[in-house]
Amino acid sequence: MPAPDQHRLIFAHIDEPGYSPDLACYQKHGGYAVMKRAFARKPEELIDEVKRSGLRGRGGAGFPCGVKWSLVDRKSGKPIYLIVNADESEPGTFKDRYIIHQDPHQLLEGTLIACFANNVKQAYIYIRGEMPLGARILEKAIAEARAANLVGPNILGSGYSCEIYVHRGAGAYICGEETGLIESLEGKRAHPRIKPPYFPAVLGLYQCPTIVNNVETLCHVKHIADMGGEAYTKIGTPNNTGTRIFCVSGHVQRPGYYEFEAGKITLGQLLNEVCGGPLPGRTFKAVIPGGSSAKILRFGERFKGKRKVGAELVDYDWGVEDVPMDFDSLGMIGTMGGSGGVIVMDDSVNMVEALANINAFYAHESCGQCTPCREGSLWMKKITTRMVHGTARAEDAALLKSVADQIPGRTICAFGEACSWPTQSFLAKFGDEFKNYTETKQGAPAPATLI
Amino acid sequence: MIQPLPSDLITVNVDGQDIAVPKGTNMIEAARLARVEVPHYCYHPKLTISGNCRMCLVEMGLPAVDPATKAPLMDPATGKQKINWMPRPTIACATNASPGLHIRTNTAAVQDCRNSVTEFLLINHPLDCPICDQAGECKLQEHSTAYGRGYSRFVEQKNVKPKRTQLGPRVTLDDERCILCSRCVRFSKEIAQDDVLGFIDRGSYSTLTCYPGKQLANNYSLNTVDLCPVGALTSTDFRFKMRVWFLKQTPSIDCESSVGANTEVWSREGVIYRITPRQNDAVNDTWMADSGRVLFKEVSAADRLSGATLNGAQVTQGKALQAAVDLLSGRGGRAESGAVKGVAVVSSGRSTVEEQFLTRKIADKLNATVALVSRVGVGDKILVSADRNPNIRGALVTGLIRALPEQKLTALGAAIDAGQIQVVLSMGEDLIAAGLTEAQQAKLAVIYLGTHQNATSAVASVVIPTLTVFEKAGTLVNQQFRLQKFARAVPGLAGVSDDLVTLSYLLNALGGTPLGATLGALWPVIAAEVKVLAHATYDTLPSTGLLLDSASWAGLPFVEGETLHFKPVAGPGVTS
């Protein structure tokens, strides 16, 4: 079956010749018209539209955005804050960066609509420390919008006022975790908070109710406000509405970003047709479908079970290529849609070395708060690094699995899962390579420098 | 029939055992009430919850209810309400008990959590217990015995961190031993209000350190050493001095101010090695000031008085006492009606209740005027109050004084100048420091009962050495009018009598009714005579003290401001 065409909703103008990130260009393309219309409506209606749209958060967890908004404590009398999570740091993900660099006003418009819907007077864009250019572009965009009375007091005479500030992180993956982000925004170390009691919807930024949404999610909000929640559900598949941006990297002919209706394209179509298949003379070996913390899939494995189609349960028997790219299908086969970062590895990749790379990343990024993640991530890194650059032992595979099994579900935030799932899944899918690494490595240590 | 519970109690189930706990109790404390230990490192009952060590993971379940009707779902097999067990373990420290909460601490899953956390904590730990000061009172050591695997699976290089950082004048840090529980960080911020500690670097390389350019120098810094569940923070003073398991613990009281923080004195073979706080939730929680921890050094200080003197010459204790009695009672025919004129007692707010009682008896017998030396400093609003006398209120309770002392001994000075006072019995007080002039002191014959040399002991006619608080037992009344007792930690100096023995000898020799010279003999007399102390005895006094009825002294202008568990009653002396 041929792959469907791209459905460019969020990325409509990305890399469009002649499209620039300034306000004039955005307004020429109809910018801020949606916001003007939205400001004429009741905030509750907008929240209902987002609920009806079924929009799921694009940061990784896929939590329904409307539900997140409805959990906000609106009776406390405290101000409600909105934070735009622009700390895109999951390896393999590069969608928010394009939005910020090339279409910042789309984000601002979505943010302002979300703020208006939730009666937010102050919003913060928390941008990753490694994206200084993006921060400058956003600051310029906000200044332009403020000059045009699109941000600030009494926006376009509507009586509604909202400020947006850009805050730069200092370069830590954990700042993408919403409570870690809030701590960082408050000027502290980004140690994620314990939940309960510190649910952002109740006790978030400065102990006030806070909404934390991903950049792409807020852009979707703009389009939902534009077309209505009902129309938005027509895009994509039930429970996986709207479009998804896939950031494909690794061993394919045409890596890059692609936007499709959620669930309408399979992994095989995406890699083989859209991305042009494997490099000449190579075959696909493995793919991580949702950012480096998602569990890896091995080409050739099959997934069987029953799934809901409409009201019925239908049998499915999928190879990796047959899996529809949506939150639920990827969840069913034991991995996740995550942030949409698709990392492809072909037969030239040694899986032990690939895992050593991932483990080095997570050991470096663990915040150091919870014992299992703090010690476990570094231990796994030390084992895989030693396997690659030193002496691999026969018992290392079992030890790695045992260490990884001691982490998930026992930490404050989801980093425990993020750092252990790669090791768990690499060992489950490619255990043979880890067990045989002793033989294959002897006399031939990897040429790379120590990680 | 099941009695309905008082409204502030709820029933929870710990390992199958139902127990009533106060609302808001967290799961660690609820389990403690059920006599089930939940191991933990970062949790401390007096600090905010951090939830980072993950040692207290338990299984948690809540009673099942129908989502639509909220009606309880019953389990037909047991006839009880079904329990929905959470799929993941929960930290017991951060979860408060709710009605019907179920906790399981003895399952394989919980055991696995504890074992794995223990293994993780040990892989980068130096395992230097043989040279570590914390050995013997180390939570990591204790829990490793219970939950450690006994061998290591870790063959990589351990992390290297700073080994002996001087965090401040009194605290030394070994970062390799640190398990990053953040208790010290939270204490400094929340209790000491001196937010100088924090972590730098990330992940397993996280390192505890002071803010650049600052020191952990506040007067509560040593509490971080007590708090530290491992040997990372050690007392620079106590470091490498003594193994803790050799030390004997004696309950005592911090005598540096009227707060009366409860303390533990650690000694071996008559030598004190350290003082730590003793928990009293009504007085000092689990804290004490650094300044109170060094007070034991006075026991063997160079200026300690070790023998009696008469006009500067060494004499036996008996001779000195006789000379004191002569001075107080006689000197020729001045005592016509049995009442000796010209004697004043300078009593002390540092004396115990029992000593003050005997002092009052002596003063009454001599018909002497009584002064008490005021010591006012600046309160720190935590555990050092403005009144640096630990027992002013004891003097009020025993009737030794009726009003609060003057700042300086002005009235006494005037009486000396007027020739009305020729003899002064000083209970360890330095008369010059208390406000008399050298000239005034020179006119006096002073009998000095004290522990250390000072300007008064140097010129006193009679010096009789007494014992420090560590060498005797007794009671003190703190700023809350809480009667608190302390016990003898170490034997007194050879040849120095107990203060009660000395005082009751003087009382006897001056012709007073013989009263006991021991706490056991004295307390029935005190209880019979002092109304607010009726029914009290030393032996039955609870270790956390006894709050006395302070109504009689409510209007006095005490100098103390607010401290941790004390709010001044608005009186004439209090400016709010």
**Which residue intervals of chain B bear CATH 3.40.50.740?**
309-553
Same-domain check for residues A270 and A392: no
pLDDT of the residue at B336: 43
Name residue, tokens 């910042």: A104
How far apart CA A216 and CA A99 sit, in angstroms, is: 8
Q: Are residues A33 and A129 in the same domain?
A: yes
In a domain, A10, yes or no: no
Whole-angstrom distance, CA of residue B227 vs CA of residue A57: 42
Cβ contact B116–A406 (<8 Å): yes
Give the model's pLDDT for residue B5. 55
DSSP β-ladder status, B369-372 and B343-347: parallel
Please tell me the distance in Å from B7's CA to the nearest CA on chain A: 24
Q: What are the chain A neighbours of B209 within 8 Å (beta carbons)?
A: none
What CATH class does B128-241 carry?
alpha beta
Residue B217 · residue B173 · CB < 8 Å: no
What is the structure's pLDDT at B491?
A: 96
Cα-Cα-Cα-Cα dihedral sign, residues A87, A90, A91, A92: negative
CB contact under 8 A, A372 and B156: no
Structure-block tokens of residue B99: 């009605």
Query: Which CATH number, 3.40.50.300, 3.40.50.720, 3.10.20.740, 3.60.20.10, labels domain B9-106?
Result: 3.10.20.740
B14-B19-B22 Cα angle (round to 5): 110
With CA atoms as reference, the chain B residue closest to A411 would be B54
User: What are residue A211's DSSP bridge partners?
Assistant: A82
The b-or-e profile of A307-317 (16+ CB within 10 A means b, else e) is eeeeeeeeebe
Last residue of a domain, one of A234, A257, A273: A234
Interface test with B, best of A184, A373, A375, A400 (most B CBs within 10 A): A375
The residues that bridge with A261 in the sheet, in sequence order, are A243
Are residues A171 and A69 located together in one domain of the fold? yes
Of A197, A371, A399, the CB nearest to B54: A371
Residue at A407 is within a domain: yes
**Residues on chain A touching B109 (C-beta within 8 angstroms):** none
Cβ distance B157 to A365 less than 8 Å, yes or no, reads: no
> What is the pLDDT, as a whole number, of residue A391?
86
Report yes or no on A4 lying in a domain: no
Q: Are residues A214 and A252 located together in one domain of the fold? A: no
Amino acid of residue B92: A
Domain boundary among A234, A267, A288: A234
Number of CB atoms found within 10 A of residue B323's CB? 20
Hey, which residues does B200 pair with through a beta bridge? B207
Chain B residues whose C-beta sits inside 8 Å of any chain A C-beta: 49-55, 57, 87-89, 91, 94-95, 112-113, 116-117, 119-121, 123-124, 153-157, 159, 179-180, 198-199, 201-206
**A411 contacts on B by Cβ (under 8 Å):** 54
Strand (E) or helix (H) holding B183: helix B183-190
Q: In the structure encoding, which two tokens stand for residue A178, read together?
A: 């919403």
Residue in A379, A393, A410 nearest the CB of B54 = A410
Q: Cα–Cα distance between A151 and A34 in angstroms, integer?
A: 15
Q: In degrees rounded to 5, what are phi and psi of residue A160?
A: -95, 130
- Gap from A400 CA to chain B (nearest CA, Å): 11
Q: Which residues pair with A247 in a beta bridge?
A: A257, A341
Contact: B179, A371; criterion CB under 8 Å:
yes
- Read off the DSSP letter of residue A156: G
Q: Are residues A79 and A202 in the same domain?
A: yes
Is A2 inside a domain boundary?
A: no
Residues of chain B with CATH 3.30.70.20: 128-241
Amino acid in position A275: C
Burial class (CB in 10 A: 0-12, 13-18, 19+), A318: buried
Q: Does the residue A446 lie in any domain?
A: no
- Note whether B156 contacts A410, CB cutoff 8 Å: no
From CA B459, how far away is CA B444, in angstroms rounded? 9
First-to-last alpha carbon distance for chain B, in angstroms, is 53
Instruction: Tokens for B217, please give them.
Output: 């120098």
Which one, of B159, B83, B171, lies nearest residue B125 by Cα? B159
- In sequence order, the β-bridge partners of residue B452 are B304
Q: Are residues A208 and A327 in the same domain?
A: no
Beta strands in B348-392 (DSSP E): 369-372
Contact A379 B157 (CB under 8 A): no
- Of A149, A159, A154, A160, the C-alpha closest to A118 is A160
- ipTM score: 0.94
Nearest CA in chain B to A419: B203
Shared domain check, A92 and A47:
yes
Using 70 as the pLDDT threshold, list the residues of chain A that sit under it: 441-451
Contact A105, A164 (CB under 8 A): no
| Three-class DSSP category at A246 | strand
- CA B199 to CA B187: how far, in whole Å? 14
Chain B residue nearest residue A376, CA to CA: B120
Classify residue A287: in a domain, yes or no: yes
**Residue B341 is encoded by which pair of tokens?**
């004129």
Answer whether A65's CB lies under 8 Å from A213's CB. Answer: yes
Q: How many Cα neighbours within 13 Å face the side chain of B70?
A: 0
What is the Cα–Cα distance from B381 to B566, expressed in whole angstroms?
9
Q: pTM above 0.90?
A: yes
Does residue A449 form part of some domain?
no
Domain identity same for A192 and A322: no
Domain total of chain A: 3
**Which residues on B lie below 8 Å from A367 (Cβ)?**
202-203
**A267 lies in the same domain as A396:** no
Give the residue among B278, B282, B275 at the shortest CA–CA distance from B469: B275
C-alpha to C-alpha distances, B528 to B12, B15, B525, B533, B537, nearest whole angstrom: 47, 50, 5, 8, 11
Q: Of the candidates B94, B123, B179, which has its C-beta nearest A194's C-beta?
A: B94
Q: Are residues A163 and A69 in the same domain?
A: yes
Q: CATH fold of B309-553, please?
A: Rossmann fold (3.40.50)
Calpha distance B86→B167 (Å, rounded): 42
Under 8 Å between Cβ of B216 and B197: yes
User: Quick check: A376 and A407 in contact, CB under 8 A?
Assistant: yes
For residue A385, the chain B residue with the least C-alpha distance is B156
Residue A360 sits in a domain whose CATH number is: 1.20.1440.230
Mean pLDDT in order along chain B per 10 residues (576 residues): 65 95 94 96 96 96 90 86 94 93 96 97 96 96 95 95 96 97 97 96 96 96 97 96 97 97 97 98 96 96 95 95 90 43 92 97 94 96 96 97 94 94 95 95 95 96 97 97 97 94 95 90 95 93 96 92 88 46
Last residue of a domain, one of A201, A234, A267: A234
Whether cis (ω within 30° of 0) applies to the bond prior to A196 is yes
Give the contacts of A54 (CB within 8 A, at least 6 positions apart). A64, A66, A229, A232, A233, A238, A239, A241, A242
Q: Where in chain B is the domain with CATH 3.10.20.740?
A: 9-106
- Mutation choice for B interface testing from A191, A366, A410, A450 by most B CBs within 10 A: A410
Instruction: Classify residue A95: in a domain, yes or no.
Output: yes
A328/A365 same-domain check: no
How many Å lie between the alpha carbon of B122 and the closest alpha carbon of chain A?
Answer: 9
Is there a contact between B203 and A368 if contact means CB atoms under 8 Å apart?
yes
Residue whose structure tokens are 């106060």: B22
Residue A75 shares a structural domain with residue A43: yes
Full domain range(s) for residue A302: 237-346
Q: Which residue of B has its CA nearest to A384?
A: B156
